[in-house]
Amino acid sequence: MKHRSAQGGLVYSTEHGSMCPACRQPFDHCQCRAALPAAGDGIVRVAHESKGRRGKDVTTVRGVPVDAVALAALGKQLRTRCGSGGTVKDGVIEIQGDHRDTVIAWLAAQGHTVKRSGG
């Protein structure tokens, strides 16, 4: 016999899509996620990486205090602004190429506190 966890239950509905396991509402109408404070120190860090990427340059953006849906939208805006490809993985926006100056200027204009990290 399987035991249900205290917070378990419905995680997907064909009518509404993904469901919040805590309040059991669709993620679009979730009240508990809106009440959560932003994680981290509120500083957005923009870095340049090439290690482990076969020598390819990648600009990474970490620490943006928004939820996953807004982070994906922000990633789309940054990729469009830089004219480059990229992705959002594990809360980190990755943009192909070295676009630190463009990303820092755009995020600062949007009202974020931005720091260049990693040299």
pLDDT at residue number 85 = 92
CATH 1.10.357.10 fits 43-117, yes or no: no
Provide the residue-wise pLDDT of the chain in tens; the chain has 119 residues. 444 445 456 666 666 677 776 777 776 777 665 554 455 678 899 999 888 778 789 999 998 888 888 889 999 999 999 999 999 988 899 999 999 999 999 999 988 899 998 76
Q: Of 55, 73, 56, nearest to 64 (Cα)?
A: 73
How is 32-61 classified by DSSP, letter by letter?
A: HHHHSPPPS-SEEEEEEE-TTTTT--EEEE
What are the boundaries of each domain within the chain?
A: 1-36, 43-117
pLDDT at residue number 3 = 46
